[in-house]
Homo-oligomer: A and B are copies of this chain.
Amino acid sequence: MRDGRQAEVSVRRVGNAWEVTVEGNIHRVEMLPIHAGMSALFRPDGRNYAVASQRLARNHWRVSLAQRHFEVRLHDPLERAVSGSAAAHAGPHEVCAPIPGRVVSVAVAEGDAVRAGQPLLVLEAMKMENQISAEGPGKVERVLVVPGETVDGGQVLVVVQ
């Protein structure tokens, strides 16, 4: 997917099938589980795809299909926005790891007030240190990692309210 693309998507269950509307175009598809983290997508035209999925956070999934990778965030049970593989675009409330790495240090504690751009923690990957900062002002609701911990790319690190 084109990096950072945003698409308005809505989903409706119709029996075993799903009716998915992507920017106005309606797709009627079926989805069947194969194995843990694996499903098959069936389109009416006979095209099938094996789909690998990983839940990165409460409302955040990584989906891989035909060697392409996507990240999805859930905004409300009936309305979703699908965003491209720019994992760095964190949701309004969650600060996620841009790449996998090791947490070197955490600069804030739960309850702290933070301003936009304020350093939250430092992440190290293959010898490079990356500073993770708050995107906007707010209050640190939760800190989900501790120094020394290894995190996956896209994993939620801090929740800012």
* A positions within 8 Å CB-CB of B: 36-37
Output the least CB separation between A31 and chain B (Å).
20
Chain B residues closer than 8 Å to A36, beta-carbon distance = 36-37
Q: CA A12 – CA B44 in complex, angstroms?
A: 55
Separation of A37 and B35 alpha carbons in the complex (Å): 11
Q: How far is the CB of A54 from chain B (nearest CB, A)?
A: 12
Residue of B whose beta carbon sits closest to that of A35: B36
**B residues near A37, Cβ cutoff 8 Å:** 36
- CB proximity of A46 to chain B, nearest CB, Å: 26
Instruction: Tell me the smallest distance from the CB of A39 to a CB of chain B, in Å.
Output: 15
What's the minimum C-beta distance from A66 to chain B, rounded to whole angstroms? 22
Q: Complex Cα distance A36/B36, Å?
A: 8
The 2 closest A-B pairs by CB, nearest first: A36-B36, A36-B37
Instruction: For the complex, give the distance between the alpha carbons of A37 and B36 in Å.
Output: 10
Chain B's closest residue to A36 (CB) is B36
Nearest chain B CB to A33's CB is how many angstroms away?
A: 13
Min CB distance A35 to B, Å, is 9
CB distance from A55 to the nearest CB of B (A): 13
**Bound Cα distance from A58 to B134, whole angstroms:** 46
Q: How far is the CA of A37 from the CA of B37 in the complex (A)?
A: 13
2 A-B pairs with C-beta separation under 8 A: A36-B36, A36-B37
Residue of B nearest to A37 (CB): B36
CB distance from A30 to the nearest CB of B (A): 20
A47 to B101, CA, bound (A): 31
